[in-house]
Amino acid sequence: MSDEHLEDALRARLHETIDPRVPGVPAEQRVFAAVTEAGRVPAGRFGFRPGPRVAAALAAAMAVVVVGGALGISLALRNGNVNGHPAPAATVPPGILPSPSPSDTPAVSAAPSPTSSLAGIQPCAGDVLTASLYDQDGAAGTLGGDIALRNTGKVDCTLKGYVNLQGVIGGRVVQLGVTHSAGGPLLNNNNGTLPTVRLVTLRPGQSAYVAFEDSDVPNGPTPCSSTQTLLITPPQGGRAVTLTRTPVSLCGGFRAKLWIDIAPVSSIPYYNTKIA
């Protein structure tokens, strides 16, 4: 066999042997998500980074714990008890008054929820609120954080329910595919259970929080997008509050093209991983 013939045979045999074993596009996406995560997580935060198989085993174990925990909490709340005792009131900072929590059903929605307020205290208008990113968290392919809404006015005001989110993409304001706790608890429940819809009263200078979760991994044929600016409409409507210089990745999910999931306005941050 000539060298040329030998080389051609070797090429063919290598492809026959190796090609069926090559991991596919999902594997590339997992690797890329891990690298992207490394770019977002401050150095030294994680000393150990699991490989895909370790991550899969950990994810399976965590799913069992989370599902089991959620079932237990759900049953306890249905009975009005936690561990056989009456459920305690939520702990909140002084001056922020939670109201009893009505039940809430996850749903895809683009419109702010109509809500009521305490007598004599008006809903917070966009004019008196400022927005900032309070904290952030992330895992491979999934990101999240809390948006702080601060009352800069001179009188108390209230927030209750879900905000609406729009983004600025290519110079145009676009409606985001906002879901409300669509996947159950958000990605990293560091702070207890997911917030429920409550009336939050803000004194001047105080903040309420909106937890969100988004994805940076393409899901389906639609490419991901991102926005540096969020327009946040308070639950009671009115003028939107602008949050700038905050990159948010927007991929498909839950039948939305620019998916982002949010929790109701809460008196305490959900992720509780304070930046700076």
Q: Which residues lie near other proteins (CB under 8 A)?
A: 1, 3, 6-7, 9-11, 13-18, 20-24, 26-28, 30-32, 34-36, 38-40, 42, 49, 51-54, 56-57, 60, 132-133, 136, 145, 245-247, 275-276
Using the minimum distance from each CB to other proteins, give the nearer residue, 197 or 210: 210
Nearest distance in Å: CB 151, other proteins: 20
How far apart are alpha carbons 248 and 246 in whole angstroms?
6
Using the minimum distance from each CB to other proteins, give the nearer residue, 2 or 91: 2
How far apart are alpha carbons 254 and 144 in whole angstroms?
16
With DSSP H G I counted as helix, E B as strand and the rest as coil, what are the percentages for the chain, rounded to 5?
25, 30, 50
Residue pair 256/248 in contact by the 8 Å Cβ criterion: no
Using the minimum distance from each CB to other proteins, give the nearer residue, 61 or 82: 61
How far apart are alpha carbons 138 and 215 in whole angstroms?
9
* Rg of the chain (C-alpha set): 23
Using the minimum distance from each CB to other proteins, give the nearer residue, 22 or 89: 22
Nearest distance in Å: CB 157, other proteins: 25
Using the minimum distance from each CB to other proteins, give the nearer residue, 122 or 246: 246
Nearest distance in Å: CB 176, other proteins: 17
How far apart are alpha carbons 275 and 133 in whole angstroms?
8
Residues contacting residue 136 through CB under 8 Å, at least 6 positions apart? 40, 143, 144, 145, 146, 271, 273, 275
Residue pair 137/191 in contact by the 8 Å Cβ criterion: no
Using the minimum distance from each CB to other proteins, give the nearer residue, 39 or 220: 39
Residue pair 202/90 in contact by the 8 Å Cβ criterion: no
Nearest distance in Å: CB 33, other proteins: 10
Nearest distance in Å: CB 28, other proteins: 4
Nearest distance in Å: CB 68, other proteins: 19
Using the minimum distance from each CB to other proteins, give the nearer residue, 10 or 110: 10
* Strands in the chain per DSSP E: 81-82, 85-86, 129-139, 142-151, 157-160, 164-169, 172-175, 177-180, 199-202, 207-215, 225-227, 230-233, 241-243, 248-250, 259-262
Nearest distance in Å: CB 132, other proteins: 8
Pairing state of beta strands 172-175 and 129-139? Answer: unpaired
